[in-house]
Structure 1
Amino acid sequence: DADWQQELLLQLAENGVAVYSAHTNLDCVANGVNSVLAKRLRLQDADMLDTVSGLGRIGELEQPSKLHDFAVFVKKALQADYLTVGDAGRKVKRVAVCGGAGADLIGLALAQGADTLVTGDVKYHEAQQAVFSGLNIIDAGHQPTELPVLDDLADRLSLRFTEKHWDVAIQVARETLLLKHI
């Protein structure tokens, strides 16, 4: 019980709760965090951004958009409280996404012809690197870029259990935003 994570695991074990966490695996797989994020943002023909790790996706918008208009759409689609936007002066057409903290994919996004990257946890110098390299960047927050996969995953699990005639209840935990803008 040396820190909050170990204490939490002990509490779960003491209450007979099993935990399986495939966080990074879920980021990388087909129909995982990044695939669902790409679908939520209506990217056409989304493909893997980093073919080595499996992180991120890149695809096309049906119609080019002004950055402001696309950012407003992203905010609504992800139900984000706020966005931080870096404007490189480009129209939005080819978009890279990475749920969570994906600013380390700026170089790959540029190399694959992206004009915009949607991710979370972008630091100031990472934003500078993106914008001055010609890449619009949208920081939609860590949680809003990852949470869409939960309902999608719950729906897929429910369908599988129903097909097997298993009586299983799926509950999606609703996390309170840790960081809030006031």
Structure 2
Amino acid sequence: MSEVRERGELSELSESSELSQLGESGRLAELSENRRSLLDWIAEEFLHNSWAGRRLVAVEGASDEPAARFANDLAAVLAARGQTVVRRSLGDVDEATLRRETIEPFRAGSLPGAEAADTVLVVDGRRLLNDSVRGIWHFSAWTLAGDELPHAGVNVIVDVTDESTPKRYFYDLCKLPPSVGERH
């Protein structure tokens, strides 16, 4: 695990993440042109709307591994754009644990590596986008990895079935059943 030292660096809080193995610049060099372009587009959208302060980004998907890789890549792109970024994989987390161990310490500036006032926390995990916690995120993404329906309440829906050529989808969310995406 490393700590943020200055803007544009990435603090890795997840023991098993690929980021700690590749590092920020190595990770970006490994991305396909299509994947990097989409991640740049998403980072630009996020930073346009949430350009300063303590910002929270959630990435979830029906399949955990592609969601974690997408969160890793998004965190690396944000760091390359000069943002102080903390990255954490949370696994299957309930609301109380999410708030107590991650959100509240981050907002208070006591989460390790996230002491700077202008920090982005990028997390992946399950149940991050349930109705009870959906409102805490400044930005959220759902990764599709097959034919499943997307989560109905996210900022970005990305098909990562072919991770080298991800595609952003715009769904008519009014047509999705209200329970789509809710995890129990």
TM-score tier (shorter):
under 0.3
Structure with the larger RCO, 1 or 2 (CA within 8 Å, 6+ apart): 2
**Structure with the bigger percentage of helix:** 1
What is the TM-score normalised by the length of structure 1? 0.27
Higher-Rg structure is 1
What is the TM-score normalised by the length of structure 2? 0.27
